[in-house]
Amino acid sequence: MPQMTALVLEDSQTQANIITRMLGAVGWSALHCHSAAEAFEILKTVSVEALFIDVFCGVQNTLGLLPQFRRMAPKAVVAVMTAGSSLESIDVTLDNARKARADYVLRKPFGEAKVREILQQAKGDDTLSGRRKHILIVDDSMTVRSLTKAIFEGAGYRTSLASSMEEAFKNPDIAHIDLALCDVFMPGMGGLKGMRYIKKVWPHVKIIGMSAGAGAYVSDAEALNAARELGSDGQIYKPFAAEALLELTGLVLNPEVIAEYLD
């Protein structure tokens, strides 16, 4: 099997050496560039399977260049990385990176385990059919999170978990999920506001709202109707059967199936 290659855009030689060593440890070769201009020149002649891009290279913010990187390396997984800057807080930088639709957002320092995860994704992205769909489960109940995780992973999906919308938005995984399964009623921001934010920032992400209502105050039907009005692509009542959840998920992720059925 031919060796796979990652391009590393990093203006710190020390950081570049660390990342290159981690790539080498998992059998990948690395091409190091100090500037975006140098990276673009390399991509004119070399095909790569992954891009590791530092957000701040000198005085340049590379987030605005992501569309050009994607055009020049259309099959590459894009991971942006940052330790922050004197110009803005690291939380702002990470949020902007998610909005820029990076596949992965890495807070420096990061370890070899995270690099392995990204490179496994890169190997699976050679064809769309080879990529496992990624589902984010957001529910304040550990039991619900554990059960739905088991259901989805048993069906071949990749999963990430969050106990609140606030936790979900801090997780870099949200930048590259295919679907979010969200409880409507949760502490903090709550599901409805969170679902609206997801649709605003990541409109490509599908959403399924789930609810058992809120006691005598709001019925499950009212809660799910509210989720629908905010743009959720599907709704399901708690408790639900595994078969029902998987069927709804398949329909939401593959709307062409519904279109064929209606035809």
- What backbone torsions phi and psi does residue 233 show, to the nearest 5 degrees? -85, -15
User: DSSP readout, 149-191?
Assistant: HHHHHHTT-EEEEESSHHHHHHSGGGGG-SEEEEESS-STT-H
User: Residue 103: its pLDDT value, please?
Assistant: 80
Measured distance CA(201)–CA(199) in Å, rounded: 6
Q: How many CA atoms lie within 13 A of 21 on its CB side?
A: 8
Amino acid at 154: G
User: Residue 263: its pLDDT value, please?
Assistant: 41
Could you say which residues of the chain have pLDDT below 50? 125-130, 214-218, 258-263
Q: Which residue shows structure tokens 């009623």? A: 185
User: Residue 2: its pLDDT value, please?
Assistant: 63
User: Residue 131: its pLDDT value, please?
Assistant: 61
In order of their start, the domains of the chain are 5-127 (3.40.50.2300), 132-262 (3.40.50.2300)
Of 178, 180, 179, 158, the residue nearest 167 (C-alpha):
180
User: Residue 227: its pLDDT value, please?
Assistant: 64
User: Residue 223: its pLDDT value, please?
Assistant: 57
Of 104, 196, 81, 176, the residue nearest 136 (C-alpha):
176
Name the DSSP class of 110: -
Name the DSSP class of 254: -
